[in-house]
Amino acid sequence: MDRIVSDNAANISVIGKAHAEAAIAQPISPTTDAPDWDKVPFDVACARCGEDLRGQTEPACSACALVFDWADAVPLEELICEECGYHLCGLRETRCPECGEHFTWEEVLAARARRKRPTFEYHWRTRPVRSFLTSMRLALRPKRLWQQVDIHDRPPTPGLVGLALVSVVLTACVVLIGLTFIGWVMWPQYVKTPSGRWVPGPLRVSQIWPAMLRMLPAMSVLIPAAVAWCVSSFLALMVFRQSMRLCKVRAGHVVRVWAYAVPLAMAWFAVAYVLLGGFYQSAQNWLPAHELTVLLLEAISPGRAVILGVGFGGMVIWSIRCGYRHYIGMRHAFWVALTTQVIAFLLTMTVLMELGALLRL
């Protein structure tokens, strides 16, 4: 008898999950009709400013004028039990009648967001590598990203901060490995031939470690600079508290815009820095030693800083501008992004100068 009951329960669970997957796979047509508030057991607030929307009939916030879709603000048809897939629409108690699992409506709404978006901010614990690659792919196309992100999905701060930190760490690793490989290839050990000539010898694995040690001084500057820029960029965005209050923007959405700007900036910086570093080292090693070479190298060194700075700042400004315009809906998004990056640049340079002064002491 117990075996029959167990088999029936397993069949019900499988059927419930199948119905849930079918419901998720089917696109829900947008609607502007207000929900039946008697069937909504949880609080409903404006995704941008937090204004209470319960009892409202128009799909627009009366406080911040955010226009939305009721299917996104109150997703009753997408709320299912995580254990058995039972639809929770119309329930008042926080217990699944199918499997008996207790839940909270905040957990159910968060689970819905995880199902919709396979990004690092939601899946950093369960699928860190795959979700990070997905987030990187989206971050490289800011305009398309911010046109797709739903403002009703609550920003999970730990996952967003983790996305920025992982991006900085991976950037440091890519730069170190890239410059080490270039230094290993460009600066081989020279051997003396029987005729008395010195020629580049064969590449040896034992030379990789010395090549990496030659690159560590550069990393001692790049890593503090990257961390200082991340922190100062976030602080610069949070400086505009008055603009955030006027536009009814909450800090969580600003964190999301900042977090997705970091991977784009770090990816561009890593590729550009390694390529420019390889070009500089090849010019040092292969060009003949005369006055033209000296002039060229002197022009390349500051030119790298200009190219990196302009390109890096442009990428960040573009990403933040797209986020503020298409996701948050804030006016003058470009000028906000530009001003924050000017502030972040000045703060970063201040930190680096103070760090240099401490190292000289």
Query: Residue ranges of the alpha helices (H) in the chain?
Result: 2-25, 70-73, 105-116, 120-123, 128-139, 142-148, 157-186, 208-239, 241-246, 251-286, 291-322, 333-360
C-alpha Rg value of the chain to the nearest Å:
27
Domain identity same for 340 and 215: yes
pLDDT band of 245, cuts 50, 70, 90? low
Q: Residue 58 domain-assigned? A: yes
pLDDT value, residue 241: 64
Dist. CA 163–CA 146, nearest whole Å: 16
Domain boundary among 59, 94, 123: 123
Domain identity same for 197 and 158: yes
Q: Residue 128 domain-assigned? A: no
Domain count for the chain, please give it. 2
Domain identity same for 151 and 283: yes
Domain identity same for 119 and 147: no
Q: Residue 316 domain-assigned? A: yes
- What CA dihedral angle connects 49, 55, 58 and 62, to 10 degrees? -30
pLDDT(56) > 90: no
pLDDT value, residue 281: 65
DSSP 68-110: --HHHHS-GGG-B-TTT--B-TT--SSB-TTT--B--HHHHHH
The pairing of beta strand 190-192 with beta strand 198-200? antiparallel
Residue 268 is which amino acid? W
**Range with the poorest average pLDDT among 9-18, 59-68, 252-261, 275-284:** 9-18
Domain identity same for 183 and 88: no
Q: Residue 97 domain-assigned? A: yes
Containing structural domain, residue 10? 2-123
Other Cβ atoms less than 10 A from the Cβ of 155: the count is 19
Q: Residue 135 domain-assigned? A: no
Domain identity same for 91 and 172: no
Domain identity same for 30 and 72: yes
**Range with the poorest average pLDDT among 45-49, 150-154, 210-214:** 45-49
List the one residue out of 176, 82, 169, 68 whose CA is nearest residue 128.
169
